[in-house]
Each structure stands twice: as structure tokens, then as C-alpha cells.
Amino acid sequence: MTYPIQKTDEQWQADLQARGAEPRAFEVTRRAATERPFTGKYEAHWADGSYHCICCGAKLFDSGTKFDAGCGWPSFSQAVPGAIREIRDTSHGMVRTETVCAQCGAHLGHVFPDGPAPTGLRYCMNSASLDFEPPAT
């Protein structure tokens, strides 16, 4: 799959370092690793603002769609329209739907059909894939 933003691994690593990303961000975003539950910096983060792709800065979620799913990862009921691509994931003996940034292909997490109304969706994201921006003042 191709994405509007394409870079080499070395360029992604340099960009992530420049953005102050956490050490595992490259493995999570470019290699589809998963952070351990209840360890991510945004799992219990409830400030107003928006969540963006740590790799390219694309806006992914508004804080008003974040909810406590009790799963150990930041969870959202709705993504910004067009911000995320969904890919069938059959790894680890399961069938899931992987979510990636529509702009750069960064692995974000997975989406499940067990979220709250009105969408019924739970976007279960890795904190290492996200960057938070408070509202503009």
C-alpha cells in the first residue's frame, strides 16, 4: 500500500527523534509492535485537545471521542474522517482490523466493534503512535 508521505527507515528514525518521540515509537509505528497495556503516556490522559500521528503530524482523533475502555490503551470511539486506513490483520492467530495513518502508514493500533454508541467502535491505539496537541489559544 502506498501513502502520500514516504520516507526511509533512517528518515523516520530521525523525524521521530526530532519530535521527541519515546524510544519504542519507531518499532510501534514502522514495525507494528505493541506497547504493554497500562504503560502508555496517553492511556490515562484526559486533557482537551487532539491526538496526532507521531510520525507525520496528521490529526487522528479529537479528545472528546476518547473514553476509558479499561483495556490499557488509549481508546477512541471515532476517528477524524479520512485520517485512518483499516487493514485486515491475521497475525498472532487472530483476525483483527489494524489501523494505520492514512498519510504515512504508521501503525496506530486496532479497531474493534465493541465501543460505545453512537459508533459502536473502539479505536485501541498505542500511545507511542500518538502526539497530543492542546487547543489553540
Q: Which of 53, 55, 56, 124 is catalytic?
A: 124
Tally of CA atoms within 13 A in the half-sphere of 9 that contains its CB: 5
DSSP state of 107: E
Tally of CA atoms within 13 A in the half-sphere of 6 that contains its CB: 4
Tally of CA atoms within 13 A in the half-sphere of 123 that contains its CB: 26
- The reply to whether 53 belongs to the active site is no
Tally of CA atoms within 13 A in the half-sphere of 120 that contains its CB: 1
**Active site (catalytic) residues:** 124
